[in-house]
Structure 1
Amino acid sequence: MQHDGGGPSRYSFDGVLTVSGGEGGAVVDAQEIRALAARLGWTIDTLFAGASNLNAAASIVRGGAHLSPATAGIATGAIATALGELRDVLAECSDLRDALELAALAYEEAEDGARPVLQIPWLRVAFPGAPFGPVLSSWMSDVTSHGLLPSARTSGMVMQLLGLPSLGRAAQVVTSLPGGQALIDALDPRGDDIRVTAERDAPDAAPRTGALGLAQGIGQTFDDREEGASAVEVQRVERADGDVSWVVSIPGTREPLGFGGSDAQDMQTNIRAYVDMRTPMETLVVSALARADAQLGQPVLLAGHSQGGMTAIRLANDPGVRRRFTISNVVTFGSPVSFMPVPRDVQVLQVEHAEDAVSGLDSATPSESANRTLVVRHLDGSSAAVDQPTGIGGPDVHGITSTYAETARYVDASGDESITAWREHARTIWAQPGDAVTTTVYEGERP
């Protein structure tokens, strides 16, 4: 794994991809480092107290040296030796404490700079010290590089400037308010209710293998459904030895301004997911797996784009779902899920674009763990046709069949240690040559 710079780093720059976390990542907790430095500080204080006691003992020995000069000489020599060794230990502890504090600071600075944004100098001069100066500077950088749409970093900065909470914080606020979730339910009493309205085979569907295959499966499921219906695709994989696994494709928001219609892939589902309430899309996925006869112990890979990624992560965290199905792998594309935890027994690949405002809505960086790999691609400077601006809005930075499909190709070609480890795990789930693959699309509508 190649790191940026000569020192330790948790970021791997694999060509055009920035990779953090996963089995190849150097997992660092700056707070834990600072706690270790504080413990060393306590140790240093204790050693200083010991040195003071030794000095006091030396004074007592010197004061009574006339009573037994030989014994006093031996005692004085022993105390001097002990004090010398103690000073050496104190120096080493002090150096180590300072090194730990510097390391914690370095990792915090690396964290802050994980998703760098170019700054426009004249804006910093025009608005020195103003809170909106950095935001304008960041957004102008977005405009000069990929059009009017804000980047992930800019969208997070705007939310902070306007006093708006991140998605994670918004969830905490709503769920802590008395009747907060009840108010959301009151907006639409149907809650997470959805009924399966169609179940159809898709014999021509390709096996959903590799990051690209998963992205294509999500895109096809998004496009191929009845008007007013939501849809998920379930692919059953049976190996020669009879083992069965499952790959589920979950599309993103189809009606960003919709609220309460028959199609559950709308803003109402987004809101329910944001505030930690079960969504109709979660119900649809569970219903689809049950209808497909998925069994506990058979590994399931959930792949989702945007809202679909939130659905996937939430299902992987749901104790009731985990008692029915074995969710062992999750892949998200352009989803604001960094504030959502993941169980340690679930492998997660989180794919984002630095310019994608949707994935930046959570204003967070996922906690480092060996089972969660974050992959970020910067579209700026890319020569790929799909990454080029097509109008005033720039390239389709959030598109699952366009820019994210291109990013998936880079993921599949990557030799990064963390991506490779995720891929090896996922290969035990998705289809291999000779496996029997059955693909079914399940459509659902709110009542």
Structure 2
Amino acid sequence: MAEVTPIGSGGAPHPMAPPPDGTLQIRGGVGGIAFQFEELLAGAAALDELHGQLQDIEREAEAVRQALFPYQADSYASGSNAVNAVGEGGREVGRVRDQLYRISREVRASHREYEFTEDLNALQLRAGLRNPALESGLRPDNFGKFSRRDVADSLVAQAPFIIGTLLGLPAAALGFATTIAGPMDVRATLKAITGMPGFGFLKPRPVTVEKSASGVETVDATMAAQLERLDTFGNNNTRGEIEIQEFNQDGIKRWVVLIPGTQHEDEIGGSNPLDEAGIVDGLGYDSAETNAAILEALHAAGAKAGEQVVAIGHSQGGIHAMNLSQDKAFLAEFDLKYVLTAGSPVGGIEAEPGISSLHLEHEQDWVPGADGLPNADTKERVTVTLTNDVATPEGEDPGLGPGHKLQNYADGARLVSASSDPSLMASTAAFAGVAGAGGVATVTRFKLTREPAQAQAAAPARSPLPETRSGAGPR
């Protein structure tokens, strides 16, 4: 753990943000500030317990010193020396106890200051008093370099304040209102839009699953290779497909699920559940329909309850993949161990304990900031921001920008795997522990199809606790 104060100096250790590793900016994980504080606070609690034990030793030493007084006259020199030695020992214990108490108090004070600063920054952001992306771009050492990801994050978070300003509302009242209301809730907003007249086509509908292809292949299971594989099949002519890989080593099966990003269709809300309306399913409805289909596809591929799964997704696909980490029906069936996302807005999704995740973002990619929420800084969750300059090749469709291209994220994943940063080493080890090095795998593609709107309208109402199409229980 990084420390400002050198070991042995007697000063309290303080966490430090992980330094950049080349073009990788790292947040979270075992080297993240939040986990460093967890360790320090646990250490402070241990120091408090030791402080109490030393107090007891001090009392015992003082009792021994006083018990020696009657014997001092028997041999004044040796008796006095014994009394003095016990007294000095007790005082030394007291000095150590005081030092431990001071260190514990400073660690707790440092944590309180950290929490206060984080809360103050969030308060100023809600009130529209801060724009981190603008502040970063105006620094002398970074003049004019704006992170599109941070700009999107700031704009979405401050959307109520910005809209109110455009409408001419008083700044004081607007600042108070937005401070109380908090940043824009993208999830609630998307869900509300689907209930508005004329926008019902965005509301998620049941998704059917059909096997489209299956075969045995040699698969490279590294992060970079899996993202490149996702790039290849996610951008081909077949639409609405996911891929499931089955690795069988010594009779133990492990599964990898690849979910592509948004596939643009002429009809939004049509048969392809991975079109633009799929974003509403992911951010507004926790991917309820899409993830039910993924659960069914795993069953159809032969996965059994309790087997380990890795979920990998790009853009919208990353939203669905991360939503699996909090889907109680899915987690009741399978042991989801790891989620890898690339260019996905997943700051509002909190994984269940024990699930590791790595989120690749690029500062030139605005999509990861589209939900207005930063990813949590925890031991099991690592966010890597790529800062290398990227550009769209001449004559190529820029799409959502060069920063959002999967190949750029695959290149970043290679740097992550080669990094010696402790957070990245721990995260990549967790990934490899499930996915392994790859090898021969059974690869199955599944076509997902969103049911027609009219079919849903004619269908009978669902019971409060419907069974999944696989018969796995409520979802």
Residues 424-443 of structure 1 mapped to structure 2, 5 A cutoff? 424-432=429-437, 435-443=439-447
8 Å CA contact 1:2, 1:12 repeated in 2: no
- Aligned pair in 2 of structure 1 residues 202, 137: CA closer, same or farther (>3 Å)? farther
How many percent of aligned residue pairs carry the same amino acid? 21
8 Å CA contact 2:325, 2:331 repeated in 1: yes
Of 9, 16, 20, the match for 1:9: 16
Could you tell me how far apart the structure 1 residues matched to 2:326 and 2:189 are? Answer: 19
Deviation for aligned residue 1:359: 0.5
Could you tell me how far apart the structure 1 residues matched to 2:4 and 2:318 are? Answer: 29
Deviation for aligned residue 1:295: 0.9
Deviation for aligned residue 1:379: 2.3
Could you tell me how far apart the structure 2 residues matched to 1:258 and 1:137 are? Answer: 40
TM-superposition CA deviations, 1:167-189 (whole Å, max 9, x none)? 98233x459xxx95982797139
Gapped regions of structure 1 (runs ≥ 5): 41-85, 114-129
Residues 142-181 of structure 1 mapped to structure 2, 5 A cutoff? 145=145, 151-163=148-160, 169-171=185-187, 173=188, 180=192
TM-superposition CA deviations, 1:375-399 (whole Å, max 9, x none)? 122124xxx7889998999960011
TM-superposition CA deviations, 1:176-226 (whole Å, max 9, x none)? xxx9598279713973312234420255x6524122012112212212342
Structure 2 residue 405 is matched with structure 1 residue 405: no
Residues 280-319 of structure 1 mapped to structure 2, 5 A cutoff? 280-319=289-328
Name 1:234's counterpart in structure 2: 244
> What amino acid does structure 2 have at the position aligned with 1:423?
T
Name 1:216's counterpart in structure 2: 228
Could you tell me how far apart the structure 2 residues matched to 1:19 and 1:430 are? Answer: 23
Could you tell me how far apart the structure 2 residues matched to 1:306 and 1:206 are? Answer: 26
Name 1:192's counterpart in structure 2: 205
What RMSD over aligned residues (CA atoms) do the two structures have, in Å? 4.8
- Aligned pair in 2 of structure 1 residues 174, 395: CA closer, same or farther (>3 Å)? closer
Could you tell me how far apart the structure 1 residues matched to 2:189 and 2:144 are? Answer: 37
8 Å CA contact 1:202, 1:441 repeated in 2: no
- Aligned pair in 2 of structure 1 residues 192, 315: CA closer, same or farther (>3 Å)? farther
TM-superposition CA deviations, 1:120-177 (whole Å, max 9, x none)? xxxxxxxxxx96987767679999558xxx6111112222443179998233x459xx
Of 22, 27, 30, the match for 1:23: 30
More divergent stretch after superposition (2-11 vs 304-313):
2-11
8 Å CA contact 1:335, 1:359 repeated in 2: yes
> What amino acid does structure 1 have at the position aligned with 2:27?
S
Could you tell me how far apart the structure 1 residues matched to 2:184 and 2:314 are? Answer: 19
Structure 2 residue 214 is matched with structure 1 residue 201: yes
More divergent stretch after superposition (353-362 vs 245-254):
353-362
Deviation for aligned residue 1:294: 0.7
Could you tell me how far apart the structure 1 residues matched to 2:397 and 2:236 are? Answer: 27
- Aligned pair in 2 of structure 1 residues 221, 392: CA closer, same or farther (>3 Å)? closer
TM-superposition CA deviations, 1:289-319 (whole Å, max 9, x none)? 1110111121110000111111011112111
Deviation for aligned residue 1:351: 1.3
8 Å CA contact 1:181, 1:277 repeated in 2: no
TM-score by length of 2: 0.64
8 Å CA contact 2:137, 2:145 repeated in 1: no
- Aligned pair in 2 of structure 1 residues 181, 295: CA closer, same or farther (>3 Å)? farther
More divergent stretch after superposition (420-429 vs 315-324):
420-429
- Aligned pair in 2 of structure 1 residues 109, 295: CA closer, same or farther (>3 Å)? same
Deviation for aligned residue 1:261: 1.4
**1:427 partner SS:** helix
8 Å CA contact 1:167, 1:339 repeated in 2: no
Could you tell me how far apart the structure 1 residues matched to 2:208 and 2:30 are? Answer: 40
> What amino acid does structure 2 have at the position aligned with 1:441?
R
Name 2:261's counterpart in structure 1: 252
Could you tell me how far apart the structure 1 residues matched to 2:260 and 2:270 are? Answer: 17
> What amino acid does structure 2 have at the position aligned with 1:170?
V
8 Å CA contact 2:222, 2:437 repeated in 1: no
- Aligned pair in 2 of structure 1 residues 99, 23: CA closer, same or farther (>3 Å)? closer
8 Å CA contact 2:157, 2:184 repeated in 1: no
> What amino acid does structure 1 have at the position aligned with 2:413?
A
Could you tell me how far apart the structure 1 residues matched to 2:328 and 2:429 are? Answer: 26
Could you tell me how far apart the structure 2 residues matched to 1:351 and 1:89 are? Answer: 45
- Aligned pair in 2 of structure 1 residues 20, 157: CA closer, same or farther (>3 Å)? closer
TM-score by length of 1: 0.68
> What amino acid does structure 1 have at the position aligned with 2:206?
D
- Aligned pair in 2 of structure 1 residues 295, 271: CA closer, same or farther (>3 Å)? same
8 Å CA contact 1:336, 1:359 repeated in 2: yes
Of 402, 408, 417, the match for 2:422: 417
Could you tell me how far apart the structure 1 residues matched to 2:36 and 2:265 are? Answer: 37
Equivalenced residue count is 375
8 Å CA contact 2:131, 2:154 repeated in 1: no
**2:406 partner SS:** coil
- Aligned pair in 2 of structure 1 residues 191, 410: CA closer, same or farther (>3 Å)? same
